[in-house]
Structure 1
């Protein structure tokens, strides 16, 4: 008989674009005793979570709740519930996750139109707006922060253009929500998808979403057709399309579950909801503006250290996302050897990249609970040591001094 040892995970400093280190308060919440999913104490927790999500998303939307599953589950739930076969969906692509939006929309029968820009850049909003007028889509689906390239797209002007042309604007903000400003209502975002495993500092397993009455109207019209109770006008509006393919990702059923009716759809992931509630509580306790400022500070220190070391950043710095820093791998250096040594010798994990950037850049995340001074300094020190060990030419000692200078300047400014 084989005796299985007790679970033991090695200590890690996780500086990837996700998952990140979970806040200890969140981990403690995961150990909270289980309640039944219709226990009044638990439904109260559900309501609290919805209210805190509205604050995080900066929205007055009625619907703000998590879909059980990773971030991709939230993306699929929104698109599956809104996309009808033959719908025109416009997806501007500036990294890996634009391709994901495209694939999911196509799986639900959409006629997808794409434009692309070089990885490391973003679109001029006017370019996107011009294409919206040209294509006249039902939906524009777009990524806010691309972890594959470390870039962040301006959305405010695009959202305004979508609203003016009665186009639905759906945004993947998985990499940015909780780490930088995302204004759902002000930017005219109709549906937004987030994730727990990045700036929320909660383990992967839930995808918080929000959507407005424009999205809900489509969902409810579709539900009428499926139940055979649509009026002639309803039927013409939705073209008598087939049923929503997915049961699990059907927002009409999910919102019934999260409404006062509490119609059973699935068994809620009780412990994960505890974790999400605590993660949201911690964020709001810190304050959104203070949290965003913290992410900017540690990003600034990391970037200063990387440059002082003699390394170069990848991509247009004007469109850099504050939560991910992409570093060009020096010539003659094996990026995977550096990553492996950094993990083995220091317990620090940074990420490689995808597609055309694979083997060319490292991606270092400063997200949520991982976004701390000690983590930034430790990562810079470890990276410098491993690069020297692998024969790279770096400015020894300069990285930490540059980062410390940033932190000391911050202390001086805060004391004024």
Structure 2
């Protein structure tokens, strides 16, 4: 019989747009004993998770809970539970994950309408609002923070318009939740999806979501037909409204997370522990303080990149605080630089997708990875590797520029 050795897990400094380094306190929480999913001690933890999620999402919605699975599972659960065949769905695309929203919506039979702008830019809200008025979609699905380009789409005007026009606004906030402001109620967002593996500093495997009464009304209208309790009037109004997916059926998931605890699946106990501790740490730090920390390290990193002589990709005015995109210098193999960073320094940064593949590096400053020592280390490591590649950089300037940012901040607090 072949002997299988214990796997070797190297130490890494993870500076990608996800996954990020997991907070050690979250890892410790995951090592606590397993409880049964209906044990009162565990259901109390579930209740606390829901209440903390409401605070992080900045909402008074009744429903805020995680879907088991990666961030994509949360996105699919929301879209699968809302979209009926032939529904109009408008998707403004300004990066890779707008295309993902399109693909998922197509699979559930939506009539897709898209808007596109160049990668590295975001939309003027008025452009999207005019399209909503023209198309009158049931749903607008949009990415808040697009990690493929490092850009962040303003949502407040769009949210108000969707509410006035009776359109549901579904938002992918996977890269922004817990790292920058996501004001669900203040921006009139109907359903929002996050992810544990980014600014929440937990492993990948859960997708926190929240949705309001407007969304719940659609979900319950379809549930009514499925369970055979609809009246003739209901059947006329809600014809063919069955939810295709069982696993991603929010009507069943909300029953599971309600006081009724109707069994839907076996909950991922250790991941609930992880999410609970990650949320607790966010609220212990304070939302505004956490947002300020992410902005500080973003500024230190961006200033260091520019001081090195490199260029940031995209418009800095529309940049998301949790991802910094760097233009690869001419003649440099982007993947070789990433490989050397990993091999020589144990630092991982990311490439990109589609038209930006090989043209930019993406450096994440998210959650527990968003720390001074990580920013200084990635700047020093990137400079050293570029010098080895024969790139003419401003030697020693990057770390000094970042330290200047930290010094100025220290003098103001």
Please state which band the TM-score falls in when normalised by the shorter chain: over 0.9
Structure 2 distance, partners of 1:176, 1:242, is: 32
Partner residue in 1 for 2:311: 312
CA offset at residue 242 of structure 1? 4.7
Please name the residue that 1:133 is paired with.
133
* Contact 2:26–2:274, Cα closer than 8 Å, also in 1: yes
Q: CA deviation at 1:198?
A: 0.3
Q: Hey, what does 2:203 align to over in structure 1?
A: 203
Residue 250 (structure 1) aligns with: 249
- 2:90 is paired with a residue of what secondary structure? strand
Residues in 1 aligned to 2:237 and 2:33: alpha-carbon distance in whole angstroms = 47
Deviation string, structure 1 residues 173-193 (Cα, Å, up to 9, x no partner) = 000000000000011001000
The corresponding residue for 1:356 is 355
- 1:337 is matched with 336
User: Which residue number corresponds to residue 369 of structure 2?
Assistant: 370
CA deviation after TM superposition for structure 1 residue 249, in Å: 0.3
Partners of 2:149 and 2:83 lie apart in 1 by 27
How far the C-alpha of 1:22 sits from its partner, in A, is 0.3
What does 1:54-203 align with in structure 2 at a 5 Å threshold?
54-203=54-203
Matched with 1:262 is 261
* Alignment partners' CA distance in 2, 1:170 and 1:237: 23
Distance 1:317 1:178 in 2: 21
Distance 1:82 1:120 in 2: 30
Query: What secondary structure is seen at the aligned counterpart in 1 of 2:43?
Result: helix
Task: Give the unaligned 5+ runs of structure 2.
Answer: none
In 2: Cα distance, 1:8 partner to 1:284 partner: 34
Give the drift of 1:6: 1.9
Question: Would you say 1:324 and 2:358 are equivalent positions?
Answer: no
Three-state SS of the structure 1 residue aligned to 2:8 is: coil
- TM-score normalised according to structure 1 size: 0.98
SS in 2 for 1:235: helix
1:231 deviates by 2.4
What is the rounded CA distance, in whole Å, between the counterparts of 1:126 and 1:88 in structure 2? 19
TM-score by length of 2: 0.99
How far has the Cα of 1:387 moved from its partner? 0.1
Task: Give 3-state SS (helix, strand or coil) of 1:84's partner.
Answer: coil
- Tell whether 2:402 aligns with 1:403: yes
Alpha-carbon distance in 2 for matches of 1:236, 1:210: 29
Confirm or deny: 8 A CA contact 2:222 2:241 kept in the other structure: no
Q: Distance in 1 between matches of 2:146 and 2:38?
A: 38
Structure 1 equivalent of residue 38 of structure 2: 38
Aligned residue in 2 for 1:301 = 300
1:60 positional shift? 0.3
SS of equivalent to 2:311: coil
Question: Counterparts of 1:297 and 1:258 in 2: how far apart (Å)?
Answer: 37
Partner of 1:347: 346
Distance in 2 separating the partners of 1:187 and 1:129: 14
CA distance in 1, matches of 2:236, 2:325: 49
Shift of 1:244: 1.0
Take 2:292 and 2:362, find their aligned partners in 1: how far apart are those partners? 21
Post-superposition CA distance 1:67-126 (Å, at most 9, x none) = 000000000000000101000000000000001101111100100100100000000000
Paired residues for 1:227-246 under 5 Å: 227-238=227-238, 240-246=239-245
- Equivalenced residue count is 413
Deviating beyond 6 angstroms after TM superposition, the runs of 4 or more aligned structure 1 residues are none
| CA distance, structure 1, for counterparts of residue 330 and residue 194 of structure 2 | 36
Alignment correspondent of 2:4: 4
Give the superposed CA RMSD: 0.7
Q: Distance in 1 between matches of 2:237 and 2:191?
A: 20
- How far does residue 233 in structure 1 lie from its aligned partner after superposition? 3.5
Aligned to 2:388: 389
The separation in 2 between residues aligned to 1:227 and 1:267, in whole angstroms, is: 22
